[in-house]
Amino acid sequence: MLRLERLRADHETALLAFERENREYFARSVPDRGDAYFAEFPARHLALLAEQAAGTCHFHLVVDEAGELAGRINLVDAEDGTADLGYRIGERAAGRGAATAAVGEVCRLAASEYGLHTLTAATTLDNAASAAVLRRTGFTVVGDTVLNGRPAIQYRRALDGPPTGR
């Protein structure tokens, strides 16, 4: 069973290793973060913790049954009861339900712990796996958008009940 851990200072080393290990894998579907991201990782990690402490973002690690980092899932720009959802599941855990489980759990946390009532998310048109995860976890299409310069679909989910999009 997967669990979410709220981002902490002591996650820095494991998170950096996860991002390095999956860099090429992630770059197949989203723009590469660039060398500066890795060179400046300690400062970036501290900045994320500061955003989280301010309550504007909620960052989580997705940890598998063996205690290994399987992914990350974030709620950003939390304001007026809404936030944007983003996630990355590493190559080792891809295709095993990790994203669906993590999105379901973060939706529960968003409502019960963070006081949010609506989440939004977007995925590029060519990312069928991510679109399927969003649909399975109750997100519905609200329109077209652009994500990282590529055509995408915008989704929304009200957090007032169980998922309905199967």
Query: CB–CB of 122/145 below 8 Å?
Result: yes
How high is the pLDDT of residue 2? 92
* pLDDT tens track for 77-94: 999 999 999 999 999 999
How high is the pLDDT of residue 78? 96
3-158 is a CATH 3.40.630.30 domain:
yes
pLDDT at 146 over 80: yes
For 111, the enclosing helix (H) or strand (E) is helix 98-112
- What is the rounded CA–CA span in Å between residue 74 and residue 77? 10
How high is the pLDDT of residue 135? 97
Residue bearing tokens 């940890």: 63
End-to-end Cα separation, the chain, in angstroms: 21
- As a whole number, mean pLDDT of residues 135-144 equals 97
Locate the domains of the chain by residue range: 3-158
Using the Cα atoms of residue 40, residue 41, residue 44 and residue 46 in order, give the sign of their dihedral. negative
How high is the pLDDT of residue 149? 85
pTM summary value: 0.91
156 forms beta bridges with 120, 140
Grade residue 163 by pLDDT with cuts at 50, 70 and 90.
Answer: low
